[in-house]
């Protein structure tokens, strides 16, 4: 009786060239184990050699990439995808070309798509490079992904400039004992700003306070420059409630937040407080946000002759419609300050309107 046919495969490619008569039932246990090891590697090779993704497919892959990393906000993912558009693999992160993100397969999300996206690979390499620069793994490491969510420009920033800025901050006066990495995790924009000239009117402690708000400095010349930008903002929007509109300058919004913080702590100089008051600056952040939306409903009333935006009639005013609903709910719950009730009532606000949020 003839011996059973033995099929010994020396490579993954040979496995796919096996005779049709080689049934699994005739394979030895050792050959079966070899098959179990070879087949996944072969499938991975096929996944890593798909067709190149189109621009639209690449954007979708990047969007999926960030969603998988836990970024649930559509707007945040949109900004990250846009920032990756100018990212290219360069000398600075070529050393990470063969590495993978922690707990992620090398064939991440490419299975079933049939597309290859160098954009996703470039983003992966940049994340790894930043993670390595800022301490890599280990207990208490910084969350590089959420640094990028806060500041997408880090994706395409020059790596040498980031390293130089990190060095400048480490050797700056007063930074001894400062947990610099924790600070940068909260204020990643500091890695993109040029070091300010040391000024005699700003102490090391004051500079560190500026860093806590994401500002490289708040000395006299910087303060005057930002104040000029605030006046330009008022000329454009009719108020100084910066930081509460989509597209507002992020650095100017951080500067405004620092002025409010300094005002609460009593650290704001009287002459600066007077200048801000003259510009119509609101020192309470919650009130400033409310006034920003009140100005919005006021402008809507002037344009349409009423202040009752409706979802079907005014779909572009979705956020304003939600804000109006919140005002009605707050009044019904007796938590709205009387002066706000009076201002909205004088405007002709409809307190009996339907509330999609309630």
Separation CA 292–CA 239 (nearest Å): 8
**Coil, helix or strand at residue 235:** helix
Q: Is the pLDDT of residue 148 over 50?
A: yes
Q: Tell me the pTM.
A: 0.70
Residue 275 has a pLDDT of: 97
Alpha helix (H) residue ranges in the chain:
12-15, 29-47, 55-68, 74-84, 118-133, 144-150, 159-171, 180-186, 204-212, 220-237, 250-265, 270-278, 285-304, 318-332, 338-347
Separation CA 153–CA 255 (nearest Å): 19
**pLDDT class for 269, splitting at 50, 70, 90?**
very high
Separation CA 341–CA 303 (nearest Å): 22
Residue 15 has a pLDDT of: 37
Q: Is the pLDDT of residue 188 over 70?
A: yes
Q: Is the pLDDT of residue 239 over 80?
A: yes
**Coil, helix or strand at residue 52:** strand
Q: Is the pLDDT of residue 180 over 70?
A: yes
**pLDDT class for 358, splitting at 50, 70, 90?**
low
Residue 106 has a pLDDT of: 37
């Amino acid at each position: 009786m003839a011996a059973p046919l033995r099929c010994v495969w020396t490579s993954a490619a040979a496995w796919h060239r096996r005779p049709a008569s080689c049934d699994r039932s005739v394979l030895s246990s050792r050959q079966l184990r070899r098959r179990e090891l070879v087949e996944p590697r072969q499938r991975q090779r096929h996944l890593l050699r798909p067709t190149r993704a189109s621009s639209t497919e690449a954007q979708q892959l990047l969007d999926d990439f960030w969603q998988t990393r836990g970024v649930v906000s559509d707007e945040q993912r949109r900004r990250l995808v846009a920032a990756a558009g100018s990212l290219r693999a360069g000398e600075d992160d070529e050393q990470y070309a063969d590495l993978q993100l922690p707990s992620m397969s090398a064939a991440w999300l490419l299975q079933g798509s049939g597309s290859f996206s160098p954009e996703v690979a470039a983003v992966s390499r940049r994340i790894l490079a930043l993670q390595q620069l800022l301490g890599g793994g280990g207990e208490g490491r910084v969350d590089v992904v959420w640094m990028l969510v806060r500041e997408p420009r880090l994706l395409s920033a020059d790596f040498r400039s980031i390293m130089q800025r990190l060095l400048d901050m480490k050797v700056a006066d007063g930074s001894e004992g400062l947990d610099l990495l924790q600070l940068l995790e909260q204020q990643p924009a500091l890695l993109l700003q040029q070091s300010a000239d040391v000024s005699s009117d700003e102490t090391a402690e004051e500079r560190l306070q500026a860093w806590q708000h994401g500002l490289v400095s708040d000395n006299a010349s910087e303060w005057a420059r930002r104040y000029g930008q605030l006046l330009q903002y008022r000329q454009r929007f009719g108020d100084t409630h910066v930081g509460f509109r989509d597209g507002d300058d992020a650095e100017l919004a951080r500067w405004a937040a620092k002025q409010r913080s300094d005002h609460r702590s009593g650290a704001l100089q009287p002459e600066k407080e007077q200048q801000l008051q003259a510009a119509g600056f609101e020192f309470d952040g919650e009130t400033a946000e409310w006034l920003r939306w009140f100005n919005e409903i006021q402008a809507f009333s002037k344009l349409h002759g009423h202040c009752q935006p409706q979802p079907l009639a005014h779909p572009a005013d979705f956020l304003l419609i939600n804000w109006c609903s919140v005002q009605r709910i707050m009044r019904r719950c007796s938590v709205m300050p009387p002066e706000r009730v009076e201002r909205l009532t004088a405007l002709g606000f409809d307190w009996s309107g339907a509330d999609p949020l309630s």
